[in-house]
A and B are shown apart, each in its own frame.
Chain A
């Protein structure tokens, strides 16, 4: 393999500048391969040792009409030699493959930022499809940016003239030409991407050759011409020692459940119906067959969870994956799992709603659905990962709580965590939590609803165990015996027992740790994927000398045991959420205190700057 790690500066005599952090956005048509380009740049950046965070942003349509505004697909990466908390507020570099991509994304680009444009896609028809009358390349509207007009299509064609590809196939390689240019600009090795090309196209030599040529062509173009006068270097970040890999939230969840299954010794079952943005978990888990993973693509959402409940009855670590609309359909079955007290994990990868809403965009507006979205009193534990990598640990935590307390557990991830990626330190096996399992086997002491005095969990007696034959079901059960009972006092007792059991999960979850002073004027409270933006904003302001603290909830039900006490030590509580104030409502109701909501429901995550501004407003007001 042709490798080239020499600094281009050494070859060309051009200057290499060292930067601390950079935000790049790749934008093009859905068919231009922007997600792929972004992922390749991300993997290369991860291996170069930077801390990073990504935000893929693509339309719900698979192929909206080419060249139109709704068809624009983007991928943003923020990478740095120091800590990265979010995908970045505004890009320093924008790569725009067509006029539509330019029009949609230009407003976000920093003033003076680098703008790389494929001029071959700026013909009259291209402009018309993007709703433009005059080319922005000619009307002066790009004057505030460092514009690099590149004939990407023509250059790619020239680089691939010796290949057997037809014109259309050649044009589809232009994303790798652009990627090659970015590798030169940021002094990156092409090794990772060349290796990926070999693996991906190993059986189709003409595509393997073409993509490699396009990538190298882009880099060679920058080297040979003086399109860029300088290149940039972002030294590796000082991450904790260890082995790292780049991981998305959905991959981390999948990996976490396989690992939890291995640790607890129970085979993993996934019952699922495809839905954006959760389907990748099904795809990933379906590859782990040699770990005994059984994935069942069900006929609908209800069958997805129903099969998981059946698998749990049989003694599996059983999970289901979906998004908000799927949870709506699974609601009755979650009630059943609550009633029969079997352990399953329900993963809701939240998206914009209600109804079909914004399938590919992020939101965290299903918290109250998770808390209350069932008939009658049916509390369940709720967990929320805070970063893509944390999804691995949340999977473990969910499995552990479900099995220990014999209860369905809800995990609330979201589209941002699911598709976003970050460097993740691969844990040692010794760091993985134990997930103890006990199956009942003694007929002398077995009663289907005889509870553990500490956890209140009932025994797990799986079919096939001699002399423990028993019946479970959705009808109310008599305490201890599990026989059907319509007795009013027993019903009330069972309602209390199921509620108390979930409340007791608090004895098994860690106390919150305050980021910043333990008391003061302002506490920012977050949950789920807002972690990066909140911690980033709070860290920056604290470094500037402002007194602000934050906590982040990974356990939403029950809340950690020390939450009330922490809240009581601050004058003001700010809760940023991608909803209209759902955590605020829970905290107000539970603790009888006031909170200040900061609510954004635009299908996009918070920017650090937005939260910084809100915090400063509160610090400066009385």
Chain B
């Protein structure tokens, strides 16, 4: 590969370095603005030369993302970003490849590619903007829209049941799964940093408000006055406590989770489940099933498990083959097998 490496004197990058001269064309008030700003803030912190970043997207509002990032970028076709990014990462493990897409792009038309990239554990960071609606095609229901939702294409309410995105990702053997919210700036950046550190596929679901076609979809958990009681922030090694007074928690008895209050009915802090990102998959899955209105919505890292990344496995096979069978020799290759000579 002739891509040149930057010397040790890599200049310190700032957010400005990641802003393009292209006019951003999302609707005013769109949740995507906040996500773009967070990504542009986090990239310069990562200590990676700018030319090593690649942002790959499919189709949809979110998929315009690469045009606004001053990195290498590829706006591909609907649903296929994970597949395009896989080819890129497999050939170029030296690159930092980020995939951006919406719930329609990654869960509907691209659902197959998403589950396979997750099971393979290709070293990609996947940011899925979930606004529970089709924005670019102007307001049809999506695979994450709630049951019964009335939209342009479901005037009598949808009869589709939605995906639980985190459950789906875990079911596909994802090694890193996180959830955050477009307006939770600090938490969003923290999740981006965690994703950046992960080897293998890092999947981050970002709740994102579409103020045109599905305004207020996440008000039940992201508005200031409800936020503390309606969200549960997952922290590795910490008990699952939440609420304004930080006294409500998740207790699991006989595999059944329930919301309890510490100090009430004899419940003590030691009864509250402690979060383990690397624990059994069943536990991670249980967390993904905590859904409103019965439970607060968990945000944070559901699972963060280190497993060999796909491209590293492939590299290893190539190194082994060279060791065993020798460096490439075209002459030998052509002559291999049964040959005979005609004088």
Query: Do A and B come from the same complex?
Result: yes
Hey, which bits of chain A sit against chain B, CB under 8 A? 43, 46-47, 49, 192, 236, 239-246, 255, 258-259, 262-263, 267, 269, 271, 288-292, 294, 296, 298-300, 302-303, 306-316, 318, 332-333, 335-336, 340, 426-427, 429, 432, 439, 441, 462-475, 483-484
- Closest chain-B Cβ to A574's Cβ sits at a distance in Å of 34
CB of B339 within 8 A of chain A?
Answer: yes
Contact between B116 and A299, CB atoms less than 8 A apart: yes
Interface string of B87-109 (1 = CB under 8 A from A): 11111101100000000000000
Contact between A294 and B330, CB atoms less than 8 A apart: no
Contact between A290 and B76, CB atoms less than 8 A apart: no
With A255-B334, A303-B83, A316-B91 in contact, is A310–B67 under 8 Å at CB? no
Contact between A296 and B54, CB atoms less than 8 A apart: no
Instruction: State A192–B2 Cα separation when bound (angstroms).
Output: 44
Q: List A contacts of B95 (CB < 8 A).
A: 314, 463-464
Closest to A242 in B: B342
Contact between B76 and A241, CB atoms less than 8 A apart: no
Instruction: State A463–B87 Cα separation when bound (angstroms).
Output: 13
With A290-B321, A464-B52, A464-B95 in contact, is A296–B86 under 8 Å at CB? yes
Q: List A contacts of B113 (CB < 8 A).
A: 299, 302-303, 306
Q: List B contacts of A262 (CB < 8 A).
A: 328, 330, 333
CB of B255 within 8 A of chain A?
Answer: no
Q: List A contacts of B116 (CB < 8 A).
A: 298-299, 303
- Apart from A262-B330, A306-B76, A307-B83, what are 8 other A-B pairs with CB-CB below 8 Å? A269-B87, A289-B320, A306-B83, A310-B86, A310-B91, A313-B74, A332-B77, A439-B2
Contact between A466 and B4, CB atoms less than 8 A apart: yes
- Closest chain-A Cβ to B97's Cβ sits at a distance in Å of 9
Instruction: State A316–B89 Cα separation when bound (angstroms).
Output: 11
Can you sample 13 A-B contacts with CB below 8 Å? A245-B339, A271-B87, A290-B326, A303-B80, A311-B91, A318-B91, A335-B77, A340-B74, A462-B3, A464-B52, A473-B74, A473-B76, A474-B76
Instruction: State A310–B74 Cα separation when bound (angstroms).
Output: 9
Contact of A314 among B88, B324, B339 (CB under 8 A): B88
Instruction: State A244–B337 Cα separation when bound (angstroms).
Output: 10
- Closest chain-A Cβ to B56's Cβ sits at a distance in Å of 7
Q: List A contacts of B338 (CB < 8 A).
A: 43, 46-47, 192, 245-246
Contact between A307 and B340, CB atoms less than 8 A apart: no
Contact between B322 and A306, CB atoms less than 8 A apart: no
CB of B245 within 8 A of chain A?
Answer: no
Contact between A463 and B318, CB atoms less than 8 A apart: no
Contact between B67 and A306, CB atoms less than 8 A apart: no
Q: List B contacts of A289 (CB < 8 A).
A: 317-318, 320-322
Contact of B4 among A314, A464, A472 (CB under 8 A): A464
Contact between B91 and A269, CB atoms less than 8 A apart: yes
Contact between A333 and B87, CB atoms less than 8 A apart: no
Contact between B87 and A315, CB atoms less than 8 A apart: no
Q: List A contacts of B84 (CB < 8 A).
A: 306-307, 309-310, 313
Q: List A contacts of B86 (CB < 8 A).
A: 296, 303, 307, 310
Q: List B contacts of A426 (CB < 8 A).
A: 334-335, 339
With A47-B340, A426-B334 in contact, is A470–B88 under 8 Å at CB? no
Q: List B contacts of A316 (CB < 8 A).
A: 87, 91
Instruction: State A472–B66 Cα separation when bound (angstroms).
Output: 9
- Closest chain-A Cβ to B298's Cβ sits at a distance in Å of 29
Closest to B72 in A: A463
Contact between B66 and A473, CB atoms less than 8 A apart: yes
Q: List A contacts of B327 (CB < 8 A).
A: 290
Q: List A contacts of B158 (CB < 8 A).
A: none
With A309-B87, A314-B88 in contact, is A244–B112 under 8 Å at CB? no
CB of B343 within 8 A of chain A?
Answer: yes
Contact between B49 and A466, CB atoms less than 8 A apart: yes
Contact of B77 among A300, A336, A466 (CB under 8 A): A336
Contact between B328 and A292, CB atoms less than 8 A apart: yes
Contact between A333 and B3, CB atoms less than 8 A apart: no
CB of B253 within 8 A of chain A?
Answer: no
Q: List A contacts of B216 (CB < 8 A).
A: none
With A303-B116, A465-B51 in contact, is A311–B90 under 8 Å at CB? yes
- Nearest first, the 3 A-B pairs at minimum CB distance are A473-B75, A464-B3, A310-B87
Q: List B contacts of A307 (CB < 8 A).
A: 83-84, 86-87, 90
Closest to A426 in B: B334
With A245-B339, A289-B317, A289-B321 in contact, is A333–B80 under 8 Å at CB? yes
Instruction: State A467–B11 Cα separation when bound (angstroms).
Output: 13
CB of B202 within 8 A of chain A?
Answer: no
Closest to A317 in B: B91
CB of B1 within 8 A of chain A?
Answer: yes
Contact between B74 and A259, CB atoms less than 8 A apart: no
Contact between B340 and A465, CB atoms less than 8 A apart: no
CB of B16 within 8 A of chain A?
Answer: no
Q: List B contacts of A318 (CB < 8 A).
A: 87, 91
